[in-house]
Amino acid sequence: MPRKKQPEEAKHKSNPNVLGLRADVVDQRITDTLELNYMPYAMSVIVSRAIPEIDGFKPSHRKLLYTMYKMGLLNGARTKSANIVGQTMRLNPHGDAAIYDTMVRLSKGYGALLHPFVDSKGNFGKVYSRVMAWAASRYPEAKLAPICAELFRDIDSNTVDFVDNYDNTMQEPALLPTTFPNILVSANQGIAVGMASQLCGFNLGEVCDTTIAYLKNPDCMLSETLLAPDFPTGGEVLYDPAVMEEVYRSGRGGVRVRARWRYVKKENLIEIYEIPYTTTTEAIMDKVAELIKTGKIKEIADMRDETDLSGLKLTIDLKRGVDPEKLMQKLFRSTTLLDTMSCNFNVLIAGMPRVMGVRELLEEWCAWRTEGVRRRVYHVLEKRREKLHLLKGLKRILLDIDKAIRIIRETESEAEVVPNLMIGFGIDEVQAEYVAEIKLRNINREYILKRTQETQSLSEEIEDLEDVLNRPARVKRIIVGELEEVRKKYAVPRRTGIVYDYEEPAAAEEAPAEDYPVTVFLSRMGYFKKITPQSLRMSGEQKYREDDGAFQSFETTNNAEVMFFTDRAKVYKTRLSEFADTKASVLGEYLPVKLGMDEGESVTCMVLPGDYRGYLLFFFENGKCAKVELSAYQTTSNRRRLTGAYSDKSPLRSVLFLAEDCEIAVYSSEPRCLVVNTALLGVKATRSTQGVALLTLKKGKTLDCACTLEASGITNLARYRARSIPATGALLRAEDARDKQMTIL
């Protein structure tokens, strides 16, 4: 009888490899995979690669500099860069290319740091050029710059911890004991997993002065001594006190830097000789070429890069009759000749990333440096105590040197010399070992007197060192003294100028957009559509998301100005011409994305201000109402975000735009209704006013919404009308009730 054929499923069950699956594969939730596999990698990048620590260095910087220090390159002659790269691979196994790139950035030739740590000779490229490549590592030479003495001064005094390298064959410092706040002096940036760091550099002299002032008074004004960031490429900082204060306070913000230029009248050309730290000459040239090609700039006859050994220089030949000042204002507005240096002071503190302001960084550095100085003092103290201990033993023996010689001579075995000295003079093994090693030539009166005097001086020094450890004020004085010494030896004048009084580049003159009738629609979830009358007639039903619906609509024109109020007490102003015409069959543009709102921010209402006549009424949950003139929102720019658009003391429930006073209906959650004339509400001078009490609420009840009397649908007006405010209103009858969940304008 023929064998019955197995079903296909049975085959697969009996042999899972038929489907190309391994029998030992175990199902795992993706969250477990992320936790077990991805998170260790992410933490490794954050902690061991991309984010600098309190000494101002990333691990790659620290490994390179320490290797050069151990090679004797602090005081010795330069050596080929390839030699340094090869030696550094004992600590950094990530490849020679990455090590050499690190060396380039720290070098004097590259020019990325105000105080380079690598004294270079040869072609190391330039920070302001993306195409000026550095030579291969076998050609340039390098050594440590003199300022590195401040990095390694206390390296052998137990000031920092040492850890094993990647293969446990040698040790390296976990941090470098810098005698000045290098974290604020050396610019640094890194991109980790889910976070980044961007530290701008400050002038060394200003940082030292600020740190000294902070040590003397932690509440000092930082801006008095720390004027502004300083960049190795020069330029000019456009000083904004509010922005600078925010950077100092939170460690976040943006500092605007402008290029420096001069006009050569004889040759009718402009020379740009310093550019912002954040850009390159190629980026500037490419953008100018694009502007010329598109016809947005017609004043330039030619532009070329004339950078040479004397430094950076971009030359712009002008056409006849061109005003150089107006041209540069246009270039500042359209190119990276005026750029923003973003600040994100993200630093590893005890292995944890923290975004800190300048004051917090100074606090952490001073605490860390205080501990380092204490460890150094304690290290020296232990050395002095050990030496004093030895000299005390020597002193006891030198009082009867003949006895010591006799004990040594009468001892038969060498191993018994130390024990016999211990017994004969009552000293310990360490002291006896020290005495036994003294040369015969040192047993003379001069040597004995010197050792006795040294004992006295050591005792005084030990007493002084113990006093330092017991008095924090003395430790502070030591740190201040070191900072003053660093400032005297290494501080240089600022490279980046500070401009306190400046004019903003004028807005570009754009041709006005075509004006034509449109109808605008806003949905409850913040989707916006602008539709022409022709398209509206041809379209069918408006399309919205399943959980969304119509909220507001207006007939207006394409050039009309529009304001969008949000739930974060902000208003976004723009023109309808910035939105593309669309159809009813699409969802429209999502306003939080289009207008660049903050995360979680949503639109509450739309207002067409027209000629800015009339009032805005803001109704708050606590029963208050603020009446603000619409002209309070008038600005000169077409698009601008205004903060403090209304009071944020209580949640906003409704907004009404009224051209003139009229009667309105206000509803509470009880439910009650109040009909009142807006003439009873006084006009407030500020946008953020809390308003006046309008609706008297019972405990636990809130103002629900408001609308015009025409939109309320109330039939018995006399029941709800009030002649003064605040008032409680009347209980809402069934025939007067209607859905009031949306704001009506």
pLDDT classification of 10: cutoffs 50, 70, 90: very low
Dmax over CA atoms of the chain, in Å, equals 128
| Band of pLDDT at residue 113, cut at 50, 70 and 90 | very high
> Which CATH class, in words, describes the domain spanning 260-336?
alpha beta
CA distance 706 to 283: 54
Q: Is the dihedral of CA 430, 436, 441, 444 positive or negative?
A: positive
For domain 517-736, which CATH number applies: 3.40.50.150, 2.120.10.90, 2.40.50.140, 2.60.40.10?
Answer: 2.120.10.90
pLDDT tier at 505, thresholds 50, 70, 90:
low
**pLDDT for 326-345, tens place per residue?**
999 999 999 999 999 999 99
Determine the pLDDT at residue 511.
52
Q: How many CB atoms lie within 10 A of CB 179?
A: 21
Distance separating alpha carbons of residues 638 and 573, to the nearest angstrom: 7
Residue 13 has pLDDT above 70, yes or no: no
Expressed in angstroms, the distance from the first to the final Cα of the chain is: 87
Would you list the DSSP string of 409-474? Answer: HH-SSGGGHHHHHHHHHT--HHHHHHHHT--GGG-SHHHHHHHHHHHHHHHHHHHHHHHHHH-HHH
Query: Is 139 noted as a catalytic residue in this protein?
Result: yes
Q: What is the pLDDT of residues 688-713, one digit of tens each?
A: 888 999 999 989 899 988 988 888 88
pLDDT digits (tens, 9 = 90+) for 652-664: 999 999 888 888 9
Burial class (CB in 10 A: 0-12, 13-18, 19+), 156: exposed
Residues 304 and 306: their CA atoms lie apart, in Å, by: 6
Spatial CA neighbour of 378 closest among 475, 511, 496, 249: 475
Instruction: Give, for 570, the enclosing helix (H) or strand (E).
Output: strand 570-575
Quickly state the pLDDT bin for 1 (edges 50, 70, 90): very low
369-490 maps to which CATH number? 1.10.268.10
Q: What's the token pair of residue 44?
A: 């490794």
Between 535 and 638, residue with greater pLDDT: 535
Whether 369-490 and 260-336 are alike in CATH topology: the answer is: no
* DSSP-derived 3-state class of residue 658: strand
Q: Quickly state the pLDDT bin for 18 (edges 50, 70, 90).
A: very low
Residue 313 burial (CB count, 10 A): 15
Task: Give the pLDDT score at 744.
Answer: 40
Rounded mean pLDDT, 464-470: 94
Helices (H), 519-629: 533-538, 591-594
Between the alpha carbon of residue 18 and those of residues 3, 13, 21, 24, 496, the distances in Å are 21, 9, 7, 14, 70
- Is the CB of residue 691 less than 8 Å from the CB of residue 647? yes
Closest by CA to 88, choosing from 60, 64, 65, is 64
CATH of region 51-178: 3.90.199.10
Is residue 653 within 8 Å of residue 626, measured between CB atoms? no
Mean pLDDT of 118-146: 93
pLDDT in tens, 253-276: 999 999 999 999 999 999 999 999
Annotated catalytic residue, options 139, 166, 502, 516: 139
What is the percent of the chain where pLDDT is above 70? 94
pLDDT for 12 equals 45
Burial of 698 (0-12, 13-18, 19+ CB in 10 A): exposed
The whole-number pLDDT of residue 639 equals 59
Domain locations along the chain:
1-37, 51-178, 260-336, 369-490, 517-736
Contact 442, 401 (CB under 8 A): no
Rounded to the nearest integer, the mean pLDDT of the chain is 88
Give CA–CA dist 187/115, Å, rounded.
10
Residues 442-459, mean pLDDT to the nearest whole number: 79
Predicted local distance difference test score (pLDDT) of residue 24: 63
596 vs 565: CA distance, rounded Å: 13
pLDDT digits (tens, 9 = 90+) for 26-73: 777 888 887 788 888 888 788 778 899 999 999 999 999 999 999 999
pLDDT at 587 over 80: yes
- Residue 97's CB is within 10 A of a number of other CB atoms, namely 10
Q: Is the pLDDT of residue 611 over 90?
A: no
pLDDT for residue 548 = 87
* Residues 6 or more apart in contact with residue 617 via CB below 8 angstroms: 625, 626, 627, 654, 655, 656, 657, 658, 664, 678, 681, 706
Q: Which two tokens stand for residue 705?
A: 């919404």
pLDDT for 156 equals: 92
